[in-house]
Structure formats: C-alpha cells, structure tokens
Amino acid sequence: MPDFISELIFLFERLNWLSLLDIFLVALVIYGILIVVRDTRAVMLLRGMTILIILLSLLTSLVSLPAFSWLVRTTLPALFLAIPVIFAPEIRRGLERLGRAGSTTMLGRQKTTRDMEMEKTIHSVVTAAARLSARQHGALIIFQRIDDLEDYLQTGVRLNAEVTAELLLQIFYPNTPLHDGAVIIADNLIVAAATVMPLSSSGVLNKMVERRMGLRHRAGLGISEASDAIAVVISEETGSISIAHNGQMIRRLDSERLENILKAFFQPNESDANIFELILRPIRDLFSVKQNEE
C-alpha cells in the first residue's frame, strides 16, 4: 500500500498542463465515440470487445503464459484494425448526425419549411394508418432517414408522388397491383411502392406473445435491423398498428401514439444539437475557465 501511494504521488508530481491537456483530449475522443454510438447495436459489441481486452490484459499480466501472451500481442492489433470495418455503418451515421447537429446549432432551431412538410407527411401517414387499421387492410410504410435505401427502391415501382392519405389507401387496397410490398417515403415523397424488404432473422418476434405474425412484420423489423429506417406496419389480420426501429418493435399503437413517435424521430434538431453540445461543452468550459483566470 505505501508503494502504491508513493507511485501515485510520483505521477501527480510529474503532471503539467500538457499532460492534463493530453488526458483531456483522449477522454474527449472516447466520450465523443460513446455519444455517437449510443442507442445503437454497436454499444453491445463495443462493450464485449472492451471486456475481452481487459480480461486478456489482466490474464497475461498476472500469470506467466508466454505462448498465450504472444498470441494476444499478435491478434490485438488486428482486432483494433478491424474496428473501423465492424463499426463502419455506425461511424458513418454518427459523423452524419454530428455534421447535421453542427449545422443545426449554427443555423438555430427555428421551424423550417422542410419541418412543416415533414409534419404534413406524418399527419398523412397517421391518417392513412388509422383508416387502414379500421378496415384491416395490411400495409408496410418505410420512412427513409440517413441510410440510403436505393437497393430496395430498385425492387419496386417508382412513383415520386406527394404523400397523401388517399394515395396510401389506394396503394394498399387489397388485390391492387401495388398493395403487396412496402412503400418507401423519402424527402416527403412516396418514392416507390411494392418494394421488397429483407426479412428479420433476429428472433425478436418469436419472443413476443403474439408469435404468429406475417411477412409484413418480419419485413418491417428486417429493414429496421439493416438500416436506420422507420417502419410502420398495419396488420391485415387484427388491424393493429406497429412501428419498428433499430431492431425493436412497438405494437398496438393508436393514431395519437403513432404520430407522437414519428414526430420524435423526425424532429431530431434538438437531440442532434444536444449531441453536438455534449461533445463541445468540455472544450467551451475549459476556455471559459482560462479566460476567468486571466
């Protein structure tokens, strides 16, 4: 114990402003990464990799295992090189969110014409979903966000039409040419209909009470696992409304809850600005402290 205390005192005596700045910058980078990847599937993978590295480091430092230590030393660099490949979608998405947040912070948070168009689009989708639910007409409506869905757009029929409740009702009317498949909405337009979505293979639906769900639910969950898109699903059997995002599904929604959830997803100005603010706040505080000292 005295040796440990003496080593700590020795380390603190060698600290200077450059050392503190060095530690601060490393902590800021780690903090920024955690902020960017939060609420994504990458969090669990990052946590598992961190625990694995800590356990391997402790094992090789506490026990003399030459062969195992050599294996760890040779494989860990490859693991670090694989991190950008493994987290490529999350890194791209996080950088885009950060760039959007920066422009939002600089331009302010006033409601733009685009925001009002998005509210109109959401209202049309919610109105159509409520009427489709009452008639028990199945439907799958996909909202494109940051991730490009061009590969899935090519599987359907291009429309590039204004989003209206009447058009959605007509598309998903039973036995019409476009009713089988998904509608993709991007930039406040119905870009395509009758598109084919990937089916979920995660088994999330099997864990629910209602296990007998059709292809629409599996397709809605599947596209939410493959991208950051939002999927609205109306059951043909029960008429219930569900929403899928990030590999999770919320079921039995009424029109009011559906509208509130969609608005929360598509009014990200405040949340993105908060991310930008959380990352830049330590830097701003540091400079404010220095100015006060001067």
Q: Is pLDDT of 108 > 60?
A: no
Neighbours of 260 (CB within 10 A): 13
Average pLDDT over the chain reads: 78
Residue 243 to residue 253: CA distance in whole angstroms = 8
Q: Are residues 213 and 254 in the same domain?
A: yes
- Give Cβ neighbours of residue 68 (< 8 Å, ≥ 6 apart): 59, 60
Same domain flag for 127 and 239: yes
- Selected residue with higher pLDDT from 96 and 252: 252
Decide: 267 and 126 in contact? Cβ < 8 Å.
Answer: no
**Do residues 252 and 139 share a domain?**
yes
Task: Return the minimum-mean-pLDDT range out of 205-219, 220-234, 258-272.
Answer: 205-219
Residue 190 to residue 161: CA distance in whole angstroms: 5
Report yes or no: 178 and 193 within 8 Å, Cβ to Cβ: yes
Helix ranges (H only) for the chain are 2-13, 17-37, 42-62, 66-86, 88-107, 113-135, 150-153, 165-171, 215-226, 255-266, 269-293
Answer yes or no: do 149 and 200 share one domain: yes
Predicted local distance difference test score (pLDDT) of residue 268: 52
User: Does 94 share its domain with 137?
Assistant: no
Structural domain containing residue 117: 113-267
Q: Are 207 and 119 in contact (CB under 8 A)?
A: no
Spell out the residues 6+ positions from residue 80 whose beta carbon is closer than 8 angstroms to its own. none
Residue 280 and residue 262 share a domain: no
Q: Are strands 189-195 and 248-253 parallel, antiparallel or unpaired?
A: unpaired
Q: DSSP label at 243?
A: E
Do both 243 and 230 map to the same domain?
A: yes
pLDDT band at 40 (very low <50, low <70, confident <90, very high): low
Residues 234, 153, single domain; the answer is yes
- Quote the CA–CA distance of 137 and 169 in Å, as a whole number: 9
Co-location of 150 and 85 in the same domain: no
Which amino acid is it at 198? P
Supply the Cα-derived Rg of the chain in whole angstroms.
Answer: 25
Number of structural domains the chain divides into? 2
Are the beta carbons of 196 and 152 closer than 8 angstroms?
yes
Element of type H or E holding 16: none
Residues of the chain with pLDDT > 90, as a percent, come to 33
CATH assignment of the domain containing 158: 3.40.1700.10
142 and 232 share one domain = yes
pTM over 0.85? The answer is no
Does residue 278 have a pLDDT over 50? no
Instruction: Give per-residue pLDDT as tens, 239-269.
Output: 999 999 988 889 889 999 999 999 988 775 4
Does residue 147 contact residue 227 with C-beta atoms inside 8 Å? Answer: yes
Q: 200 phi and psi, to 5 degrees?
A: -70, 140
Q: Is there a single domain that holds both residue 48 and residue 143?
A: no
Q: Residue 139 forms beta bridges with which residues?
A: 234
